Amino acid sequence: MMILRTTAEMRRQSRAWHRADETVGFVPTMGYLHAGHMSLVREAAERCDRVVVSIFVNPTQFGPNEDLAAYPRDFARDEALCREAGVDAVFYPAVGEMYAADHSTWVVEESLTRTLCGASRPGHFRGVTTVVAKLFHAVEPEVAVFGRKDAQQALVIERMARDLDFAVEIVVAPLVREPDGLAMSSRNKYLDADQRQRALAISRGLALAVRKYERGERDAAALCATVADGIRAAGGEIDYVELVSRADLCPAARAEGPVLLAVAARFGATRLIDNVFLG
């Protein structure tokens, strides 16, 4: 397995594969890999001859008061997991390789980013779309795989790829949960045992909302309250619990047609997100 640290090296390798008529599947990550990431790697491997995983804790998608410095990193462990999974190359650039001191060009999506994490984390998606555009240019993949845990991110990236004519197919893979239901996330590491237990209120609340939906509940306020009440009862602090249209991520008053019920909540200092698709 290759470890490539510059955009030039990465592109050279990807082009060598393309010249040999091999396709490249790409999984962008911030590292500290878990089973959710590894499911994306399997999706990429099923679709393409070669798999590239990028590991880059992207500073521009963190707000000034967010957890950039604390974000968990363990490259040796990530490297071992990638090797074991048959990844062909890890793209592992330094911050200085990705951003010049006078970097001044951004990719911005201005519609789907107005709600949910776009509203609660100003500037976050601008960092995401910019770094993903750069990574696409470095890796030049046929396929890029994103996880449905970050449902809004996946939709924003699909929109970016369409709007800017990136020659890459965006695949969105299912959310992967711990056995007790907690959505897998590198940030789960921040939780102490008590917080970890209380954080189950998020996935349990979503599961309860799904059951109510299946029994006919369509009112957004009722579905959101189901989730929010459980989180508050467990001592969580809610960033948002929202029902939005899957097409444009605008708030929906009722769960008619394809909608997304999305949550962001804090347990202690740890912000967790989760979601379910309905309809």
Residues labelled catalytic: 37
Nearest C-alpha neighbor of 5 from the set 76, 111, 89, 128: 89
CA distance 26 to 33: 15
Binding residues for a second copy, rule: CB under 8 A, are 7, 11, 100, 102-112, 129-130, 133-134, 137-138, 140, 159-160, 162-167, 248
Q: Rounded to the nearest whole angstrom, what is the least distance from the CB of residue 108 to a second copy in the complex? A: 5
- Cβ proximity to a second copy: between 12 and 77 the closer is 12
Sequence-distant contacts of 96-103: CB under 8 A, at least 24 apart: 97/5, 97/6, 97/7, 98/7, 98/56, 98/58, 98/131, 98/134, 99/59, 99/60
CB distance 245 to 219 below 8 Å = no
CA distance 115 to 264: 12
- Cβ proximity to a second copy: between 28 and 230 the closer is 28
Q: Rounded to the nearest whole angstrom, what is the least distance from the CB of residue 186 to a second copy in the complex? A: 25
- Cβ proximity to a second copy: between 152 and 185 the closer is 152
CA distance 159 to 157: 5
Burial class (CB in 10 A: 0-12, 13-18, 19+), 254: middle
Q: Rounded to the nearest whole angstrom, what is the least distance from the CB of residue 195 to a second copy in the complex? A: 37
- Cβ proximity to a second copy: between 71 and 166 the closer is 166
- Cβ proximity to a second copy: between 10 and 252 the closer is 10
Write phi, then psi, for 243 (nearest 5 degrees). -100, 120
Taking the CB of residue 78, how many other CB atoms lie within 10 A of it?
A: 20
CA distance 180 to 27: 26
- Cβ proximity to a second copy: between 46 and 163 the closer is 163
CA distance 173 to 50: 18
Q: Rounded to the nearest whole angstrom, what is the least distance from the CB of residue 92 to a second copy in the complex? A: 16
Taking the CB of residue 7, how many other CB atoms lie within 10 A of it?
A: 17
